[in-house]
Amino acid sequence: MVARLKKLRYPLLFAFFAAHFTVAALSMAKVNGKVWHRSVAPALDIYARLTGVGAGFGFFSPVIPKEIQVAFEIETTDRGTIRTTLQQETIQEVNFRVGNMIRLLNRHFYQKKVMRSVAASLAASMFARYPTAKAVTLHTYVYDFPSLQDASAGKQPEVKRVYSVKFGRSAT
């Protein structure tokens, strides 16, 4: 049995890597899961999520997604105004979750209720961190890249403010 497995080791490895890179290529090509037989699609979806090959690989795209930054202005009763960013306010282990929150903001720029809800959640965390805060203003910026044609004409990337909202501490 062991000898037989050793003999099949390379063909099995080849088959695994071929399947892995096929799933990755289909993900990059944004092939919809509906092309698969319904018994195979859930397994491929789980595999793609577990390994990361289902991430879409947007960095290969000629249209670069916008980089988002979240900044806060915190007005306190004792220290004046504190300016900080979401990334500065978290420990390194939390930065992955922070990235998810920022991507959520990116997906819902045009849905005012969702934006306000996410912004309120982030502002609430700043009120918790700074107990003397009387107001928190959240600003969302995008790092806007020019198109390839504009960049070759000399246009530089720029930071644009796309959303701002101010929250005050409610009386308890």
**What is the SS3 assignment for 51-80?**
HCCCCCCHHHCCCCCCEEEEEEEEEECCCC
48-66 pLDDT tens trace:
777 776 655 554 455 555 6
113-134 pLDDT tens trace:
878 888 888 888 889 889 999 9
Q: Considering the entire predicted model, what is its pTM?
A: 0.55
Q: Residue 128: exposed, middle, or buried by beta-carbon count in 10 A (0-12, 13-18, 19+)?
A: exposed
Q: Give the Cα separation of 63 and 29 in Å (integer).
A: 14
Domain ranges of the chain: 2-60, 67-168
pLDDT 10s per residue in the chain (172 long)? Answer: 677 777 888 888 888 888 888 777 776 666 655 566 667 777 777 777 777 766 555 544 555 556 678 889 999 998 889 998 877 776 665 666 666 666 666 665 667 787 888 888 888 888 988 999 999 999 988 877 777 788 889 988 888 888 899 999 875 5
Q: Residue 34: exposed, middle, or buried by beta-carbon count in 10 A (0-12, 13-18, 19+)?
A: exposed
Q: At what angle do helices 2-28 and 41-51 cross, to 10 degrees?
A: 90
